[in-house]
Amino acid sequence: MDNQRKYTDQMGREILVPIKPVRIISLVPSQTELLYDLGLNEEVLAQTLFCIHPEWAHQSKTRIGGTKKLQIEKIKELKPDLIIGNKEENLKEQIEILMNKFPVYMSDIQNLDDALNMISDIGIICGKEIEANLIIEEIKLGFTELHQTENKKKIAYLIWNEPLMAAGHDTFINEMLVKCGFENVLLQKESRYPETNIIELNELSAEYVLLSSEPFPFAEKHIQQLKSEGLKAKIILVDGELFSWYGSRLKFSASYFKQLIQQINLLHES
């Protein structure tokens, strides 16, 4: 116990972690980027195929499968002293296998406060509390300076094509839409990521449809397709990472939202 400390993760689980862990595996892209921004370049042992930031690490670090298709045996062979995952992005069955052998910190994030608490936790656990606090203060300042759109614009935020799927209630993406002052027209749907269609979006009087760059890579051709199929809303391509990555990338989200709000306000006047 002298060389370990007890922490509580965001799922309320107590975990024992070595003081300043040096063999870290991250199972979530946004949290992987955070680790590097905290200065843990050497400590990060392995990461997923989807951990694309920073680029040098994406190219050079050991990969342990996708967020929902982890290579469990490979992770066991690497003998990590800390694994960092997320309730939504990783599969419960795989995480439970890893929990039996290694300390696993699990985040559970639905809003900005959850994200900031996660950043604080990771900083404390990894001996980077000062660095984490600097990131947190930068994020807080950005969102403090973010002014919401004039009047509430009715928005649908699409994450998938064929079928069309959107971000709904109790999602981090919806929290970001709220920060912008948008009204999510699909909040009343039962699913957190409901399927939808053009008829429904028109009936809900969506004024703007935001097409995310991830997980489905929407592009200009999809704007033309949706218009040709009768979607009445104005359509905008948006950076999905800045809406859904809840780690240190949030440093850039507020300034991006500010530009998006200005763009939508101008479109609304035209």
SS3 at position 119: helix
| Residue 132 zone, left/alpha/beta (φ > 0; ψ -120 to 50; rest) | alpha
CA 41 centroid distance within chain: 21
SS3 at position 195: strand
Predicted pLDDT at 1: 55
pLDDT along the chain (270 residues), means of 10: 89 96 98 98 98 97 98 98 97 98 97 98 98 98 90 95 97 97 96 98 98 97 97 98 98 97 84
Which residue ranges form the domains of the chain, and what is each CATH number? 4-142 (3.40.50.1980), 153-269 (3.40.50.1980)
Strands 182-184 and 153-160: parallel
The DSSP symbol for 149 reads: P
Where helices occur in 145-219 by DSSP H, the ranges are 172-180, 198-203
Judge if pTM exceeds 0.85: yes
HSE (side-chain half, CA atoms, 13 Å) at 9: 20
